[in-house]
Every structure is written in structure tokens, then in C-alpha cells.
């Protein structure tokens, strides 16, 4: 399976990259390529050009401070996962990243790339939504921040304009007294989840984000719902679909089971229990 | 010092090149800018008439050299591909054309063939071909095939390719008279071999010598050679087929010719260039072959001990759109279903059905897993009905050690009697029970239940007919350097043949293992061969090689006896040196014997001077004796009267998650009897691989066709081939050796054993954990969840 | 109109190669067909099987998911570059030979590169870590049992005879 032909640019400055994108509305950005290249090889995507941003300087940073974690567009999943600072300031990012594909894919794939790919079956977009993070994008028209809630328009469709490049993503820090947890059920090690749940508990607020349950990353508010009822409460706000690996009913069962487990785990973690 | 290599875990010679990345698989052959590359346009529809194919836009593309459709094929190339194994019961066999003629019958069928400078350009060319189809509603699944509201082939009524019955008597009557009766309805879903390396073919036409050279990733070099010659109008002698290193076969590469195996040589000759076709992963899913899909109905009559008084099996086999491999798979199901048991009366009937899906040819086990599933589920059902131990019911039905050879009264897949030569099923049962802890399990199960955990144990037995004919051959040549060159015509896909066969030659000839070199699958070196399938290589080629080496040794001894002026029976060959026993000074190395074996007029080096006419020979006798040939070679063939029967038993302990229905393997045990082992390390490797495919087939892999005949999981993302994390962490293996009386080394085949009882053993274990009947395999957590819902009061 | 070609310098196994390839040429194909380094194998071209795994600046990546033009200025190590300078097998390769960790050999290069990096980063892996190290590579022949043993044996050999000169 070989890609169809495309023009190729490997700019060395962000300005040049933005200009190349602006000049060609059918061009796509190439960062890690772990999602894009298979689509090219299968000819499911046939962009006129690729703008390879791997040579752009300064985009691979992972900046951590007490407000949160800012991950540059070229920071590989592996680097983010290996960062003890990220784990300290926002452990949910590290927890979820361990479930993203396999180590070899994580060596090349980028976290920002995963966010912008907007796949509801991916872990990181849901984590961003749950934490209320954002993605910073740039174009010839300037720079803007897109809040997680506005990032995904539909399956595999982000709200970035065709001439915008995501330059970084921001995950807010875990506040003191808050707890997070993540768990997913997949058929094989490293597969897309049949169902994954990320949970955040902070004071009275309890929320859960769902991987592979809707068309878009979905967050459900479970504040005030007691243990044992959380699964049903979540399901009431979700519409699990069927695919070749799981019926809708089974997926719903996983939502029930994982919601209970993961939310309880986040709540315990918030209470300081491990 | 001599240590026999038979039975030793000798490290493999193949590894030296594989580990360095120096293997030569078909896509590694002719890596050269001058080689042209092919791509195939495949039907997107499962069933359609071809109205028009417009290729006008293709040749405008720079770098594209040619495009073929069926219209461009002439003579034998325009006719359907051969039906490889005809059978009287296959009354409505059908095969595809090299390129679809008027219609397509599965999504993936080859419609056009393009040759270009590289694969990228060839795929660009495919995008420019415009095919107009008249789409027809397809037949998908066994139920639809049986209902026959629509037909796959207009001239095949009821979608029935064949109906075949075999039996030993009136099973229905026996069942009617029996004290107890049961009925089971079972389903096995379709799966596939999916070797890591797909199919590929390279061909080069040499106009200087008028010869066609073909490299192809096949399990039968001679099979491909014969068809290429016929289809291209060449003499057999003009065609060479060389099997390169093959990255796995597991059965799918025994089918031949693939359309590409003919189109590539045709293109090579037409264009006067080396042409290569390497399929991609998606193509392997949609245009190679699948297997396993069956629906089964079993009726059984038994007594209070669970002894089988009458067994009546009817099944429906989905063979896909075409039947190039005949009825081998369902015939194997019919016959090997009996396993190690001896029902009083047995009848089996099957219908082999067409569907608009990828065709079905053997996949490791080749119908045995389905037969084992049917029989072992029946055994478990009988045990449950009678409240008896499942091992005990099986033991009651075993053929006993003193009953061999045991004639089951049926005809096997080789056209010969199904007669088991040797085995010891009671001993195997004792071993598997001990290995898995069968007797202790009920207590363990109770313990687990007390803490809310569900565990279950399963047991399954199988018998495998291995080493089927018609024959294999071997050629052993001792060169003047003392090196031994061995050739056998069947092929290798990772079984370590070059190592295993070298062990046999080293033992028989008395040479060093390092001095033996084995080539397989090259028609230039051994043109008489059948192929690698049905766990036959060790038995067939092993025996032939052993016999050929013996012939070479006989000649060595004869010549050496003469040269050393000793009696043949006083000679020994150790590490390639012939000497008189007890008299080490009187010795001759094999290289010298080789020199002496070929009386020369012209010396070509120092050593060969010893064989020239003024140096050697009795002037009163002809230089080459009457019934001899020059040179130090041995050639022999092994052609058995019937197959030899390996056997084994597997047991598994699983745990099922009460909430998510995920299935975890706690313990997997294997007892395995393949007669005498040539290389135990390699045999164990085969068992490990077979078990992994078995686990995969029981819990993860299936072909997910939708009602439009589209394969929804045509990639490794959604066809769930297991990683290390999905197979058991460690397999407990114990061996039994009941030698085969049918071949000189007493060996039986080992290649397929690991996968045969898997569906049965997992179904049994999950049923034991859940107390829910498991009648369909494979099973996923989602499916187990639904079964639980259905069975909740 | 023919396709635009790009100049790219690839550094593979310590040697430099200047290529002119289309942008769409996958790294796996460039290694195999443009450089003749056929040890890296192609099993799926969608990044799942791992047969094409090479090291990029020492880290395992899927060569089928990279464009050759993207590998400019990076060090690529393929299976052909794993052996010792004198042609003998590395510890990882030796582990595989001793433990029968391969059958058809097609998936093997991807395992070898992955494990070479894995043991370099973690020379004393636990049994679980050995399994985890290879959990992203598919093998159809061996059933993985002996591959795990090969990793453990390679780790043993690495402690006995370290290859980094220490």
C-alpha cells in the first residue's frame, strides 16, 4: 500500500511552515505521522502536499510549572511519558499515555498530533477534555488557543482551520486535594480501547471522560452520584455504539464497570488513599 | 567420538543468515532498478458482472509499462486456473480465472494487472482504471448459502459444490437403539493463516537459454512449475522454480497457482524484463485464502459408561467463491473427527458450499480443528449428561494400545484407508491429567468460587494423520571437497528443515553436521516433489533423505573397501573419514572417496590427479562398473502406503472476569506424540507456534464479513493476531513417543498439532467456568457477556 | 509530468547515502530498494506488526510509518547494523540463536532492533519487563515463548560480556 503523490515541504522556520500551509488549502501537517502515514498508504487521505514540521526548532519542549503542563508540537509521547515532572504536576497525562499504542509508536508519535487528530478512540483527546485543557494554534493570521471543548467537531475532525498548525497543548495541573485515575479495556495489548475511562475528582466535583464510547471525546459530570450508581448515571448520558469487536450492550457494560472502578479510584486518590 | 544428532536440540543453521538480516525472501530477490513491479486491480464488490474495463488512461502514466485484463489473455492463460485435487463428490467444482472474465465472485478477485517501474507507480495506474460493474447481491455465510435464495454461480444449484458421505454402518439405527441420545449444533467461524510475509512472485525470462526462472513464496515448487509450464506453453524443462526463504505459510501458500504466479512470468516474457509482484497486507486478507468456517449437527447414541454406540455427523462447509483445493478440508474434518476414539457406528455427511467470499484452502490443521471441536464437545456433552468425569468418558472410548493398527473404515484425504499405525492414548491421558492437575482442579475451582472468581478447565484430544504421500525424494551428493550437498524438493517456511535434515545426513553418513548443506524447494536440484503441508516434511523428506544418504554411504563403503583393501563390514565413517575399525592408520576422507568415484581423463586440481586413467583403475574392467554411475551420489524416494498418525492432548485452565467477561489463561498444558523426535527444540517451537495460533483462533481471530460480502477487518488493526501478551506465559509440555512403524526413522509429523484441539479445549474450559453451553467458536468477551445475559434466569 | 524528487542524505548503520527519492517513498522502501538493505521487512504497512522496526537515533520506530525524506539528519540502525564489527553475532542475536527464538525469520529483524534498544535502556529486565519489551511486535511462527527466553538470555549474555566496552 503506497501513498499517492504529494508535494513536500520541510520548512526550517514556523513562518515558512505557516506560509506553505496558507498557500495550499489541501496541504496537511506531518509531525509524528503515526496516524497520518497509514492513511496516506491506504490512500484514504490524498493531500496535495505535506508540510513536515519535524525540522522546526523549539517545538519539542515540555514545560511544566505549577499551573500545568505545556507540551510542544514535536514532543514525542515517549518523552512526555518519561517526564517525572509531568507525572508530578498532572499524573493523568502519564497514566493515559501508557495506554497509547505501543512503545515504538510512542517514540515517534506526538501528543499534540494525537489531540489534533481528534479520534474518539484515542486516549489523549478525552484527557484534554476532562482536564479542560487547550491547544494553541498558529497561522499566518496569528495565534489562538482552542479550548478542549471546542477542539473536536466530529469524528476525526478538529476545529483547526486548514492553514493552522497546532504548536502546543496545555494540560492544567492537578489541584491539591484532587485525584485522577485511568483504565481501559482493550482486546489486545496496545489496541484501541473497547472502552476507556478517565476520571477526575476534586472536592464535590466528579467527572469522567470516555474513550471509544461516542463519536467525539465525551465528558460526563458525575458530581454527587454515589458509588454503585455512577455506572448507570454515566450510561444515561452516553450512547455506546457497536462495532466488530463489541456490541453496544457490551460496551455499555464496560462503561458501567469501568466508571465504577475508575471514579472510585480517582475519589480515593483525592482522599489521599492510594 | 560420535554423538548421534537424532534427538538433539541442534542450533539452527538458518539462523546465521536470518539474524543478520541476510535472509532472501521473495521481495529481496532482484532488488534492482531494472526490475519492474506489478500491482493488481481487485474487485471492490463481492458479486458483480463486469460490464466494461477501461484502461486507456493507464499507459499515459510515465513509468507504466503494460496492463492486462482477461481480454489480453490467450490460450491456456485465458482458461480457468486448475482444480488441483479433483474428487468424484466434487460435482460442481469451480476455479477463478487469472483475471476475471465476465464476473467477479468475491471482493478482492483479480480484475486487471499492471506493470510499472515501481510499486508506487503501479498503484497510481490502478487508480486510473475504470471498471463498470453490474453489482449483484452476494451470498454471505453458511445460512445464506444453504437457503440459496441467491446463487454464487448460476450453474451451481443450491450453492452446493459437493455432497459427500462416508460411514461404517447405519448410525441412525445405532443411535435409535442406544440407551441415551444427544444432539449438538455447533459453529466454527472463518479465520486465516496470516503469515507475516504475504505472497510474492518474481520471474525472469532468459532469451539466451529460452528458460523461465520463477521465484515464488510457495509451499510447492513443483506444483507451481508444472502449472507455469502448461499455462505459458513451455516445456516443463524450460521452467525453473526456486523457493526463496519464506516468511511463514501455515497452509495458505500451498494453494497454487495464484493468478500472480502466472501473470508475473507472462509479463516477464512479454516485456523481456524481470518482473516482481509482492502483495500488501490488505491484499493478503482479501485475495489469498481463508479457512475454518463450518456449521455442524451431531447426533450421538451412547451407553451408561458414555461409550459411543452411534455417531452421526452432518456439517456444512463454507469454501468461499471457488474450489481450487477440492474437498481436502472437509474430508479431513470428516475423518479426523474420530480422534483417538472408536465409535461402534459412524456416519458423516457434508455439503461444501459456495459463498461470495474469499476461497477456502487449508490452514494449519486443515479441517482437523473443526472435527476435533465436534467430537470433543460431544464427549463433554456426554460426560455432563451422565454426570461423569470428562477424562473418564474419553478413556472409555479410546482405541487401546494393543489394537493397533486400527482401521477406522474410512477413506482419508490421501485417498487411502484411515488406519492408525501406533499410539498410546491412555498413557497420554495420564500424562495430561498429571501435567495440568486435572484431579486437583475441582477443589481449586471451589476455592476460587468462594472468593468470587470463576475458573474452568478443559481437555481435548486429537489424532493427526501426518506424512501423507504420494512421495518425496532426496539427492545426496558428496563432493570432492568432502562437503555433502543435499536436496529435497519440498519447501520450507520456518520449520528448520536445513538443520533437521542435516542432522539426519550427518548421522547416516558419519559426516560433520557443519559439512552438510541442505537445499529445499528448488526444482533445479530436485524436480520430483510434492510440497510441504499436512505435517509431512519430516516424515516424507526425512525418510527420503535418510534413504538417499544410506545409498550414498553404501557407495562410499564399496569404493573405500576397494581402495583400502578391506571388507565393507570392517569400515566405519566418522567425521567424514572412512577407516578400518580399530586401525586408525588405514583411512580415507570422503573427499578422496568422491574423487575416486569419478574416473577422469582430465585432472583439474591436485587431488583429482588420483582419479586419472594412469593413476587408478583395473585395466581388465570397465572404469565405471556395469550397474554403477560415476560420482558419489545417492538418490532415493519415500512413498508410504498410508499416513502415520500422531496424537496429543491439550488442557487449559481459564479464568473469566465476572464483570467484563474477559478471558485469561491461567495454565496451558500439552502432551504430544509425534513418534521419534529429530530435533526436540524445533518440535517444541512448532508446538508453541501452534498453540499461539490456537489461542488466537479460539479467542481473538475471525473474518468479519458484512452482509455485502465486505471484509470489515482486513488489517492487523482489526484482525486480532495476538501479541506476546495474549498468549499464555509458559506452556507445560510433556512428550510421548510411539514410533511409526511405517518409515525407517519412526517419525510422525509435528507441524500442525499445536492448533488442532484449541477451539475444543477453550470451549470446554469456558463452559466449565460459566456453566453455560459453548457451541460457537471463537468467543470474545462481548460474546461471552451476551451468553451470560441469555442464560441468566 | 514526472514526480518531483528530493535529495536526502540517509545515515544508516554508520554509513552515509545520498538518495534522490519522491517524497512519498517510505523509509522501509528506501532502505530495502534504494539502499539494498533488505533485512528490514514489511509485514503490514500500517504500523501494527513491527517487522519494519529500525532504530532512529537509537529509539525503535516503524520504518513503514516514516517517509525517507523525514529521516534526514538522523542515525538509522537496521538489523544489518546490529552485529559486531568482526561479523559475530551481538548478544541479542546470540540469545535468539541459542533459544530458538526464530523460525521463518521474517519478524525477527524488528524484534532484534527493538530488544537491542530495550536492553540498552534496561540491562536487567524482570520477566514481565522482558514480555513488555516485545509486546509491540507480532510473530506468527514461534508463539513468543522462545522469544521471551531469547530476551532473558540476551540480558544474561550482556551482563557476562558487555558490548559497550565496559
Containing H/E element for A249? Answer: helix A248-271
Q: How many C-beta atoms surround the C-beta of residue B51 within 10 A?
A: 10
Span(s) in chain A for CATH 3.30.465.10? 62-172
* Separation CA C86–CA C104 (nearest Å): 25
Residues near C21 by beta carbon (within 8 Å), at least 6 away in sequence: C5, C6, C8, C30, C34, C68, C69
Q: CB of B726 within 8 Å of any CB in chain A?
A: yes
Cβ-Cβ contacts under 8 Å, A250 against chain B: 661, 781-782, 785-786
Closest-CA distance, A247 to chain B, in angstroms, reads 7
How far apart are the CA of C85 and the nearest CA of chain A, in angstroms?
26
What is residue B671's predicted lDDT score, i.e. its pLDDT?
98
CA neighbor of B191 nearest in space, from B652, B711, B656, B707? B711
Q: Can you tell me which residue has the cell 442406544?
A: B178
Kindly state the DSSP code that residue B610 receives in the 8-state scheme: G
Can you tell me the distance from the alpha carbon of B60 to that of B360, in angstroms, rounded to the nearest whole number?
38
B17, B195, B280 member nearest C140 (Cβ)? B195
pLDDT over 70 at C1, yes or no: no
Residue B691: closest C-alpha in chain C: C143
Examine the pLDDT at A191 and tell me if it is beyond 70.
yes
The DSSP code for B389 is -
Report the pLDDT value the prediction gives residue B625, as an integer from 0 to 100.
85
Contact between B203 and B115 (Cβ < 8 Å): no
> Dihedral sign, CA of B382, B384, B385, B391?
positive
First to last CA, chain B: 72
CATH topology for B470-638 is Aldehyde Oxidoreductase; domain 4 (3.30.365)
Binary contact (B715, C46; C-beta < 8 A): yes
Name C77's Cβ contacts closer than 8 Å, sequence gap at least 6: C12, C13, C54, C55, C58, C113, C116
Contact by Cβ (8 Å): A261, A253: no
Report chain C residues touching chain A, CB-CB < 8 A: 3-4, 6, 22-24, 26, 29, 45-47, 50, 53, 56, 59-62, 64-67, 69-70, 72, 114, 135-136
- Residues ≥6 apart with Cβ < 8 Å to A197: A182, A183, A184, A208, A209, A210, A211, A255, A258, A259, A261, A262, A263
User: B657 CA to chain A: closest CA distance, Å?
Assistant: 11
What is the Cα–Cα distance from B400 to B396, expressed in whole angstroms? 10
Q: Which CATH class is domain A62-172?
A: alpha beta
Q: Which residue has the cell 452482509?
A: B707
Domain A178-270: which CATH number of 3.90.1640.30, 3.30.390.50, 3.90.1150.10, 3.20.20.70: 3.30.390.50
CA distance A192 to chain B (A): 9
Shortest Cα distance, chain C CAs vs residue B24, angstroms: 8
The answer to whether C39 faces chain B, any CB pair under 8 Å, is: yes
Give the A:B interface size as CB pairs under 8 Å: 67
Q: Please, are residues B493 and B219 in contact by the beta-carbon 8 Å criterion? A: yes
Compute the average pLDDT of residues A21-30: 96
Would you say B520 and B243 are in contact if contact means Cβ atoms under 8 Å apart?
yes
Q: With beta carbons under 8 A apart, name residues in chain A contacting B119.
A: 2
Q: What per-residue confidence (pLDDT) applies to C165?
A: 46
- Give yes or no for a contact between A192 and A254, defined as CB atoms under 8 angstroms apart: no
Q: Do C45 and A189 touch (CB under 8 A)?
A: no
Candidates B298, B308, B355; CA nearest to B147 is B355
Q: DSSP readout, B135-201? A: E-PPP-SHHHHHHTSS-SSTTSGGGEEEEEEEESS-HHHHHHHSSEEEEEEEEE--B----SS--EE
For A46-98, how does the pLDDT look when each residue is reduced to its tens digit (9 = 90+)?
A: 999 999 999 999 999 999 999 999 999 999 999 999 999 999 999 999 999 99
Across the interface, whether the CB atoms of C69 and A105 are under 8 A apart is answered no
Phi, psi dihedrals of residue B202, rounded to the nearest 5°: -125, 140
Three-state SS at C54: strand
Report helix, strand and coil shares of chain C as percent, to nearest 5.
Answer: 40, 15, 45
- B-contacting residues of C 113-152, CB under 8 Å? 127, 131, 134-148
Length of chain A: 274
- Upstream peptide bond of A117 is cis (omega within 30 degrees of 0): no
CB contact under 8 A, C105 and B23: yes
Give the domains, in start order, of chain C with CATH numbers: 5-81 (3.10.20.30), 91-160 (1.10.150.120)
Identify the closest residue of chain C to A41 by CA–CA distance: C45
Cβ separation A8–C62 shorter than 8 A: no
> Strand B454-466's sheet: what is its strand order?
B454-466, B644-656, B663-673, B732-736
The nearest CA of chain B is from the CA of A246 a distance in Å of 5
Domain boundaries for CATH 3.30.43.10 within chain A = 7-53
For domain B17-136+193-287, give the fold.
Aldehyde Oxidoreductase; domain 3 (3.90.1170)
Q: Are C107 and C138 in contact (CB under 8 A)?
A: yes
Subunits in contact with chain B (3 or more CB pairs closer than 8 Å): A, C
Q: Quote the pTM value.
A: 0.97
Q: C-alpha B13: how far from its chain's center?
A: 22
| CB within 8 Å: A34 and C22 | no
SS (HEC) of B334-349: HHHCCCCECCCEEEEE
Cβ burial B454-480 (10 Å sphere, 16+ → b, else e):
bbbbbbbbbbbbbbbbebbbbbbbbbb
Residue C162 Cα, gap to closest chain B Cα (Å): 19
* B200-206 and B275-278 beta bridge pairing: antiparallel
CB-based burial of residue B88 (10 Å sphere; 0-12 exposed, 13-18 middle, 19+ buried)? Answer: exposed
Chain B nearest-CA residue for C103: B494
Please tell me the class of the B294-468+641-791 domain.
alpha beta
Among candidates C33, C41, C106 on the partner chain, residue whose Cβ is nearest the Cβ of B31: C33
Task: Enter the C-alpha cell of residue C51.
Answer: 517487522
Query: What is the rounded distance in angstroms from the CA atom of residue B765 to the CA atom of residue B760?
Result: 9
pLDDT value, residue B611 = 84
The pLDDT tens digits for B86-125 are 999 999 999 999 999 999 999 999 999 999 999 999 999 9
What mean pLDDT, rounded, does chain A reach?
97
Residues B236, B387: Cα–Cα separation, whole Å = 63
How does pLDDT run across B537-595, given as a tens digit for each residue? 999 999 999 999 999 999 999 999 998 999 999 999 999 999 999 887 889 999 999 99
Residue with cell 568422491: B594
CB atoms within 10 A of CB B388: 15
C-alpha cell of B588?
A: 580415507
* Grid coordinates of B150: 441467491
The nearest alpha carbon in chain C to A103 belongs to C136
- CB contact residues (below 8 A), chain C span 77-106, against chain B: 78-80, 83, 89, 93, 96-98, 100, 102-106
- From CA A54, how far away is CA A110, in angstroms rounded? 11
Chain C residues touching residue B754 (CB < 8 angstroms): 143
A253 at B interface, C-beta within 8 A:
yes
Reduced to 3 states, what is the DSSP secondary structure of residue B521?
coil
CATH topology (fold) of A7-53: 3.30.43
Query: C70–A33: do the CB atoms touch at under 8 Å?
Result: yes
Q: Which residues contact A233 (CB under 8 A, 6 or more apart)?
A: A220, A222, A225
Q: Which of residues 261-320 of B touch A (CB under 8 A)?
A: 280-282
Pairing relation of β-strands A142-147 and A134-139? antiparallel
d(CA B634, CA B511): 15
Q: Start-end ranges of CATH 3.30.365.10 in chain B?
A: 294-468+641-791, 470-638
CA distance C28 to chain B (A): 12
Stretches in chain B below the pLDDT threshold 70: 1-2
For residue C166, the model assigns a pLDDT of 42
Whether residues A189 and B723 touch (CB distance < 8 A) is answered with: yes
The pairing of beta strand A7-9 with beta strand A49-52: parallel
For B426-443, give the DSSP string. Answer: HHHHHHHHHHHTTTTHHH
Count of other CB atoms within 10 angstroms of residue B387: 6
Amino acid at each position: 500500500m503506497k501513498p499517492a503523490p504529494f508535494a513536500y515541504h520541510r520548512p526550517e522556520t514556523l513562518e515558512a511552515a505557516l506560509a506553505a500551509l496558507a498557500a495550499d488549502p489541501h496541504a496537511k501537517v506531518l509531525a509524528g505521522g503515526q496516524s497520518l502515514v497509514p492513511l496516506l498508504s491506504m490512500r484514504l487521505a490524498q493531500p496535495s502536499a505535506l508540510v513536515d514540521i519535524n525540522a522546526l526548532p523549539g517545538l519539542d519542549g515540555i514545560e511544566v510549572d505549577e499551573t500545568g503542563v505545556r507540551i510542544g508540537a514535536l514532543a514525542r509521547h515517549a518523552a512526555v511519558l518519561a517526564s517525572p515532572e509531568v507525572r508530578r504536576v498532572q499524573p493523568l497525562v502519564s497514566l493515559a499515555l501508557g495506554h497509547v499504542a505501543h512503545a515504538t509508536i510512542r517514540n515517534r508519535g506526538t501528543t499534540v498530533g494525537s489531540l489534533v487528530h481528534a479520534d474518539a478512540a484515542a486516549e489523549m483527546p478525552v484527557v484534554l477534555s476532562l482536564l479542560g485543557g487547550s491547544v494553541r494554534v498558529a497561522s499566518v493570521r496569528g495565534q489562538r488557543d482552542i479550548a478542549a471543548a471546542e477542539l473536536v467537531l466530529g469524528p476525526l475532525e478538529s476545529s483547526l482551520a486548514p492553514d493552522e498548525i497546532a504548536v502546543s497543548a496545555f494540560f492544567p495541573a492537578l489541584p491539591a486535594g484532587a485525584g485522577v485515575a485511568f483504565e481501559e479495556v482493550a482486546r489486545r495489548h496496545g489496541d484501541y480501547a473497547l472502552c476507556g475511562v478517565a476520571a477526575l475528582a476534586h472536592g464535590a466535583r466528579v467527572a469522567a471522560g470516555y474513550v471509544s464510547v461516542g463519536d467525539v471525546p465525551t465528558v460526563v459530570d458525575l458530581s454527587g452520584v454515589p458509588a454503585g450508581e455512577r455506572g448507570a448515571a454515566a450510561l444515561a448520558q452516553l450512547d455506546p455504539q457497536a462495532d466488530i469487536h463489541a456490541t453496544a450492550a457490551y460496551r455499555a457494560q464496560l462503561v458501567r464497570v469501568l466508571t465504577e472502578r475508575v471514579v472510585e479510584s480517582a475519589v480515593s486518590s483525592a482522599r489521599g488513599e492510594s | 567420538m560420535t554423538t548421534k544428532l537424532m534427538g538433539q536440540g541442534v542450533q539452527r543453521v538458518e539462523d546465521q543468515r536470518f539474524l543478520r538480516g541476510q535472509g532472501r525472501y521473495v521481495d529481496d530477490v532482484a532488488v534492482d532498478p531494472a526490475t519492474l513491479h506489478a500491482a493488481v486491480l481487485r474487485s471492490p464488490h463481492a458479486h458483480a458482472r463486469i460490464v466494461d474495463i477501461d484502461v486507456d488512461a493507464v499507459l499515459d502514466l510515465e513509468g507504466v509499462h503494460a496492463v492486462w485484463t482477461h481480454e489480453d489473455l490467450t490460450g491456456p492463460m485465458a482458461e480457468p486456473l486448475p482444480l488441483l485435487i479433483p474428487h468424484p463428490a466434487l460435482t460442481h467444482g469451480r476455479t477463478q480465472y487469472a483475471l476475471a472474465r465476465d464476473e467477479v465472485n468475491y471482493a478482492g478477485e483479480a480484475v486487471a494487472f499492471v506493470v510499472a517501474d515501481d510499486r508506487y507507480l503501479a498503484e497510481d495506474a490502478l487508480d486510473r482504471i475504470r471498471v463498470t460493474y453490474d453489482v449483484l447481491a452476494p451470498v454471505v455465510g453458511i445460512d445464506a448459502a444453504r437457503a440459496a435464495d441467491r446463487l454464487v454461480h448460476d450453474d451451481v444449484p443450491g450453492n452446493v459444490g459437493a455432497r459427500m458421505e462416508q460411514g461404517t454402518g447405519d448410525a441412525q439405527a445405532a443411535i435409535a437403539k442406544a440407551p441415551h441420545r444427544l444432539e449438538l449444533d455447533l459453529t466454527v467461524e472463518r479465520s486465516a493463516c496470516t503469515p507475516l510475509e504475504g505472497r510474492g512472485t518474481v520471474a525472469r525470462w532468459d532469451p539466451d537459454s529460452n528458460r523461465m526462472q520463477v521465484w515464488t513464496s510457495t509451499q510447492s515448487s513443483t506444483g507451481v512449475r508444472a502449472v507455469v509450464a502448461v499455462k505459458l506453453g513451455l516445456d516443463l524443462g524450460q521452467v525453473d522454480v526456486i523457493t526463496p526463504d519464506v516468511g511463514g505459510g501455515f497452509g495458505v501458500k500451498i494453494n497454487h497457482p495464484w493468478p500472480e504466479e502466472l501473470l508475473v512470468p507472462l509479463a516477464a516474457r512479454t516485456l523481456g524484463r524481470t518482473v516482481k509482484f509482492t502483495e500488501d497486507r490488505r491484499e493478503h486478507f482479501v485475495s489469498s485464502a481463508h479457512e475454518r468456517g463450518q456449521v455442524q449437527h451431531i447426533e450421538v447414541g451412547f451407553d451408561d459408561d458414555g461409550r459411543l454406540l452411534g455417531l452421526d455427523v452432518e456439517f456444512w462447509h463454507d469454501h468461499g467463491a471457488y474450489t481450487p483445493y477440492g474437498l481436502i478440508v472437509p474430508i479431513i474434518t470428516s475423518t479426523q473427527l474420530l480422534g483417538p476414539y472408536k465409535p461402534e457406528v459412524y456416519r458423516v455427511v457434508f455439503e461444501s458450499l459456495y459463498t461470495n467470499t474469499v476461497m477456502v484452502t487449508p490452514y494449519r490443521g486443515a479441517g482437523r480443528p473443526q472435527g476435533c471441536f465436534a467430537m470433543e464437545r460431544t464427549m463433554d456433552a456426554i460426560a455432563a449428561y451422565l454426570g461423569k468425569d470428562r477424562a473418564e468418558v474419553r478413556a472409555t472410548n479410546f482405541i487401546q494400545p494393543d489394537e493397533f493398527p486400527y482401521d477406522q473404515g474410512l477413506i482419508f484425504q490421501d485417498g487411502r484407508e484411515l488406519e492408525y499405525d501406533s499410539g498410546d492414548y491412555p498413557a497420554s491421558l495420564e500424562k495430561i491429567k498429571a501435567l495440568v492437575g486435572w484431579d486437583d482442579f475441582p477443589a481449586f475451582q471451589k476455592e476460587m468460587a468462594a472468593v468470587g472468581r470463576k475458573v474452568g478447565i478443559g481437555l481435548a484430544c486429537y489424532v493427526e494423520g501426518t506424512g501423507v504421500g504420494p512421495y518425496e525424494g532426496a539427492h545426496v551428493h558428496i563432493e570432492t571437497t568432502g562437503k555433502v550437498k543435499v536436496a529435497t524438493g519440498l519447501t520450507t517456511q520456518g520449520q528448520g528443515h536445513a538443520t533437521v535434515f542435516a542432522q539426519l545426513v550427518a548421522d547416516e553418513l558419519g559426516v560433520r553436521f557443519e559439512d552438510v548443506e541442505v537445499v529445499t524447494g528448488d526444482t533445479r536440484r530436485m524436480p520430483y516433489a510434492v510440497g510441504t503441508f499436512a505435517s509431512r516434511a519430516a516424515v516424507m523428506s526425512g525418510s527420503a533423505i535418510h534413504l538417499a544418504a544410506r545409498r550414498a554411504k553404501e557407495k562410499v563403503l564399496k569404493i573405500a573397501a576397494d581402495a583400502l583393501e578391506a571388507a565393507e563390514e570392517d569400515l566405519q565413517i566418522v567425521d567424514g573419514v572412512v577407516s578400518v575399525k580399530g586401525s586408525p592408520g588405514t583411512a580415507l576422507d570422503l573427499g578422496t572417496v568422491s574423487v575416486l568415484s569419478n574416473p577422469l581423463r582430465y585432472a583439474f586440481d591436485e587431488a583429482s590427479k588420483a582419479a586419472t586413467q594412469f593413476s587408478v583403475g583395473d585395466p581388465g574392467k570397465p572404469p565405471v562398473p556395469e550397474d554403477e554411475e560415476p560420482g558419489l551420489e545417492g538418490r532415493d524416494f519415500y512413498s508410504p502406503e498410508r499416513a502415520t498418525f500422531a496424537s496429543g492432548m491439550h488442557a487449559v485452565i481459564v479464568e473469566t472476569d465476572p464483570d467484563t467477561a474477559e478471558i485469561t489463561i491461567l495454565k496451558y498444558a500439552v502432551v504430544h506424540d509425534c513418534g521419534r523426535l529429530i530435533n526436540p527444540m524445533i518440535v517444541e517451537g512448532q508446538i508453541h507456534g501452534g498453540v499461539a495460533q490456537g489461542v488466537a483462533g479460539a479467542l481473538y481471530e475471525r473474518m468479519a464479513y458484512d452482509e455485502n460480502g465486505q471484509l470489515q477487518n482486513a488489517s492487523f488493526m482489526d484482525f486480532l493476531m495476538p501479541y506476546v501478551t495474549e498468549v499464555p506465559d509458559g506452556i507445560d509440555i510433556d512428550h510421548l513417543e510411539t514410533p511409526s512403524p511405517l518409515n525407517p526413522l519412526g517419525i510422525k509429523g509435528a507441524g500442525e498439532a499445536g492448533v488442532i484441539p484449541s477451539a475444543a479445549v477453550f470451549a470446554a474450559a469456558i463452559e466449565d467456568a460459566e456453566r453455560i453451553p459453548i457451541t460457537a467458536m471463537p468467543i470474545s468477551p462481548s460474546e461471552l457477556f451476551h451468553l451470560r445475559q441469555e442464560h441468566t434466569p | 509530468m514526472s514526480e518531483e524528487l528530493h535529495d536526502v542524505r540517509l545515515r544508516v548503520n554508520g554509513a552515509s547515502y545520498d538518495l534522490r527519492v519522491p517524497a512519498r517513498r517510505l523509509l522501509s522502501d528506501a532502505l530495502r530498494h534504494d539502499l539494498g538493505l533488505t533485512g528490514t521487512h514489511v509485514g503490514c504497512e500500517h504500523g501494527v506488526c513491527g517487522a519494519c522496526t529500525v532504530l532512529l537515533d537509537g529509539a525503535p520506530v516503524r520504518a513503514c510509518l516514516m517517509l525517507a525524506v523525514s529521516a534526514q539528519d538522523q542515525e538509522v540502525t537496521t538489523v544489518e547494523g546490529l552485529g559486531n564489527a568482526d561479523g559475530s553475532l551481538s548478544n541479542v542475536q546470540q540469545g535468539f540463536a541459542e533459544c530458538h527464538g526464530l523460525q521463518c525469520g521474517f519478524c525477527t529483524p524488528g524484534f532484534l532492533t527493538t530488544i537491542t534498544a530495550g536492553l540498552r535502556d534496561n540491562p536487567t529486565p524482570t520477566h514481565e519487563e522482558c514480555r513488555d519489551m516485545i509486546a509491540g511486535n507480532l510473530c506468527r511462527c514461534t508463539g513468543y515463548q522462545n522469544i521471551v527466553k531469547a530476551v532473558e538470555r540476551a540480558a544474561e549474555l550482556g551482563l557476562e560480556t558487555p558490548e559497550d566496552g565496559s
